[in-house]
Amino acid sequence: MTTSSSKAEATRTRILDAALELFRRQGVESSRMRVIAGEAGDYLGSAYYYFESKEDLVMAFYERAIEAMIPGMEDALASSDSFEGRVAAIMKVKFEYFRPNRAFLGALFRHAADPQNRLSPFSEATRSIREVAPTYFARSMSAKSGSLKVPKDLAAHLPKMLWLYQMGLILYWIYDRSPHQQRTQRLVTASLSLIVAGLSLARFALLKPLRTKIVELIVLAENEHGHA
Amino acid sequence: MTTSSSKAEATRTRILDAALELFRRQGVESSRMRVIAGEAGDYLGSAYYYFESKEDLVMAFYERAIEAMIPGMEDALASSDSFEGRVAAIMKVKFEYFRPNRAFLGALFRHAADPQNRLSPFSEATRSIREVAPTYFARSMSAKSGSLKVPKDLAAHLPKMLWLYQMGLILYWIYDRSPHQQRTQRLVTASLSLIVAGLSLARFALLKPLRTKIVELIVLAENEHGHA
């Protein structure tokens, strides 16, 4: 990295830090680009050079989060031999990383259901981000103990389904006002236990029609997803 | 009803109509109580007598919706002998009623996940409303054809689960930009078919452990629901 590019990187980081700090303090809606630039000590207006809008800053936050969590994710995958243990560890990494940004994340989730909103996790703009996360869930399935034998038709869709599941858990966690978000913890445990029980039954012939219908529903949802 | 109370009722209705019209036109956030009163031709400020805040107006909208849909719901329940047919008919009534208010409903759903927001369908304030809707789903289960034999432990929770399911469908429908919301229609058909397949398998001994875990998860969610 040349000196000028690392200087640029440092400026970009400083602006993003200032923006996140402001988002946390007063919310995304009422934070103005001009104020963000001021907080970053950027009086030359280069904030606009790096980030055209608040939305760009939020996207940068998503990207930074994914990158920052890589080591934690690797540790999480290495921490257990079971599928259940790995997914629980992945969720722990996410909750820990997002803890200081819980309120801010809540503001973002208000747009989550609308795939035409750029900041929605289902939007075109967040597609590349959306494609990273399921890879960890895919790896969580290939546990060494080999206890998770999922029929192929279902296995192909499982990483994306698990990604959707974790979105639900994060949404629950955002509004969980119990001490240390214990409720979310109980929900993680109970729902993972249910998922494992369901997956371990999935190979039985009796459940074949049900499995076919589940896969049909998933394919339907994926094809229509984000109006792609 | 005395003349004065029916006059009061008429005033209340006029104010609510004006509010909904304004909500539809410019959204809930940017509608002001003062403007609503003006639109209702209420220059004496009695709008404030009937509705203390915009939130009261939204609650009145929920209540009106439930009452207005009663005949349609009864027709829906009578329209089919099958569970599947009845639930599909119930959803049709809801989508038809809410069609003119789709955007407005979208604005309300942005607060849905937070049970501490008064307008959330999971809040304390909407509890009484939340208790009405599952009764239709309970009745949809007692289909004459008797095809739906659900084990007792699961049956007890099913109406509330179906209510949650329809909330999901409504959320999907709000952002469904396909012509005539065909995507939602396909989702209703595919998901109902899956639910029926799942329920018809639920009595098998093989699935008992899975069913127990599902019921456990439901009980966990209900106990912690809205921090009650």
Q: Does A118 contact chain B (CB < 8 Å)? A: no
Chain A residues lying within 8 Å of B201, measured CB to CB: 206-207, 210
Q: What is the pLDDT of residue A85?
A: 94
Q: What is the mean pLDDT of residues B48-54?
A: 86
Q: What is the pLDDT of residue B29?
A: 78
CA-CA distances (angstroms) from residue B99 to A149, B62, B92, B188? 45, 14, 10, 16
> Is residue B43's pLDDT more than 70?
no
The residues, ordered by sequence, that sit 6+ positions from B193 with a Cβ below 8 Å of its Cβ are: A213, B84
Q: What is the pLDDT of residue B147?
A: 57
Chain B residues lying within 8 Å of A179, measured CB to CB: none
CB-based contact A206 B206, cutoff 8 Å: yes
> Is residue B57's pLDDT more than 50?
yes
pTM of this structure: 0.86
The residues, ordered by sequence, that sit 6+ positions from B153 with a Cβ below 8 Å of its Cβ are: B211, B212, B215
> Is residue A49's pLDDT more than 70?
yes
> Is residue A224's pLDDT more than 80?
no
Q: What is the pLDDT of residue A225?
A: 55
Residue B44 vs residue B22, higher pLDDT: B22
Least confident of A61-65, A118-122, A154-158, B181-185: A118-122
A63 vs A118: CA distance, rounded Å: 14
What H or E segment, with its residue span, contains residue A83?
A: helix A83-98
Q: Residue A107 in contact with residue A27, Cβ under 8 Å?
A: yes
Q: Does B36 contact chain A (CB < 8 Å)? A: no
Q: Residue B39 in contact with residue B1, Cβ under 8 Å?
A: no
Half-sphere exposure of B94 (CA within 13 A, CB side): 24
Q: Does A223 contact chain B (CB < 8 Å)? A: no
Reduce the secondary structure of B77-106 to three states and give it as a string. HHCCCCHHHHHHHHHHHHHHHHHHHHHHHH
The residue type of A99 is R
B56 vs B33: CA distance, rounded Å: 11
DSSP category for residue B125: T
User: Max alpha carbon distance in chain B (Å)?
Assistant: 68
Which among B84, B108, B124, B175 is the top mutation candidate for probing chain A, defined by the most A β-carbons within 10 Å of its own β-carbon? B175
The residue type of B223 is N
Q: Residue A87 in contact with residue A140, Cβ under 8 Å?
A: yes
Q: What is the pLDDT of residue A227?
A: 42
Nearest CA in chain B to A117: B175
A14 vs B177: CA distance, rounded Å: 39
A210 vs B204: CA distance, rounded Å: 13
Chain B residues lying within 8 Å of A114, measured CB to CB: 106, 175
Q: What is the tens place of the pLDDT at every residue in B132-168?
A: 888 999 999 886 655 578 888 899 899 999 999 999 9
Q: What is the mean pLDDT of residues A51-58?
A: 88
Residues 69-108 of B with CB under 8 A from A: 106
> Is residue B93's pLDDT more than 80?
yes
CA A155 to chain centre: 20
Residue matched to tokens 């007890």: B156
Q: What is the pLDDT of residue A88?
A: 96
Q: What is the pLDDT of residue A185?
A: 95
Among the partner-chain residues B193, B209, B220, the one whose CB lies closest to the CB of A190 is: B220
> Is residue A148's pLDDT more than 70?
yes
Chain B residues lying within 8 Å of A193, measured CB to CB: 213
Q: What is the pLDDT of residue B227?
A: 42
Evaluated on CA atoms A147, A150, A152, A158, the torsion sign reads negative
Q: Does A152 contact chain B (CB < 8 Å)? A: no
Half-sphere exposure of B202 (CA within 13 A, CB side): 22
Q: Above pLDDT 90, what percent of chain A?
A: 43
Most confident region among A12-26, B81-95, B132-146 by mean pLDDT:
B81-95
Q: What is the tens place of the pLDDT at every residue in A157-195?
A: 999 999 999 999 999 999 999 999 999 999 999 999 999
**H helices, E strands: number in chain B:** 11, 0
Q: What is the pLDDT of residue B70?
A: 95
CB-based contact A190 B214, cutoff 8 Å: no
Q: Note whether ipTM > 0.95 here.
A: no
Q: How many residue contacts between A and B have a Cβ separation below 8 Å? A: 80
Q: Residue A105 in contact with residue A174, Cβ under 8 Å?
A: yes
